[in-house]
């Protein structure tokens, strides 16, 4: 379909008479695994994440915009013990097992967040993370997360408070 023509026609019908310009850009993901899933589903899941429980809709949108979508099949390794942690991962669909030496320590399902401490402190992962079934994830990289905190101090305060509270439970 002639999208630019339709947009210019719409502008003219709504009172635009001259110098109407329409620019249409289509992006194509490099692979299916990099395609974004519906924003609504991601936002509904992000709302369930304890780290993000006090975020407004606008703040969740900001976080969603810097996250990258990742899709893994069953029994795929998300990260391994000892790997340098530089991101947090939110499970959108599916299940991820946290394992050490073949022993399951915990299981994260939709709304679960893995590795959130890596958002403020880069340190080696304490266990392996492996999918138990086909799983869709949102990965939030540390550098992009820190950019958000610099841009929005109110959001930064909310998230820092939660992370400090979480870290104090791990240490104490």
Q: First CA to last CA across the chain, in angstroms?
A: 62
Residue 4 has pLDDT above 80, yes or no: no
- Which of 3-12, 57-66, 83-92 has the largest mean confidence? 83-92
pLDDT tens-place string over residues 6-55: 877 788 888 877 776 767 676 555 444 444 556 888 888 899 888 888 89
Residue 90 tokens read as 């939110």
Note whether 11 and 119 are within 8 A (CB): no
pTM above 0.75, yes or no: no
The answer to whether the CB of 91 falls within 8 A of the CB of 109 is: yes
Separation between Cα atoms, residue 142 and residue 137, nearest integer Å:
16
DSSP H stretches of helix in 24-118: 39-48, 57-66
Q: What is the pLDDT of residues 67-86, one digit of tens each?
A: 999 999 999 999 999 999 99
Do residues 88 and 115 lie in contact, with contact meaning Cβ atoms separated by under 8 Å?
Answer: yes
Residue that is written with structure tokens 């429980």 in the block: 53
């Amino acid at each position: 379909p002639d999208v630019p023509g339709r947009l210019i026609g719409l502008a003219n019908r709504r009172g635009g008479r001259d110098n109407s310009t329409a620019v249409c850009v289509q992006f194509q993901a490099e692979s299916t695994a990099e395609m974004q899933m519906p924003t609504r589903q991601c936002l509904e899941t992000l709302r369930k994440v304890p780290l993000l429980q006090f975020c407004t809709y606008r703040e969740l949108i900001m976080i969603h915009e810097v996250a990258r979508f990742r899709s893994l099949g069953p029994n795929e390794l998300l990260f391994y013990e000892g790997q340098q942690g530089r991101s947090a991962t939110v499970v959108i669909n599916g299940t991820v097992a946290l394992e050490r030496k073949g022993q399951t320590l915990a299981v994260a399902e939709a709304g679960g967040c893995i590795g959130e401490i890596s958002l403020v402190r880069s340190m080696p992962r304490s266990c392996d993370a492996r999918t138990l079934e086909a799983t869709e994830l949102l990965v939030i990289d540390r550098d992009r997360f820190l950019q958000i905190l610099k841009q929005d101090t109110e959001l930064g305060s909310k998230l820092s408070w939660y992370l400090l509270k979480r870290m104090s439970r791990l240490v104490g």
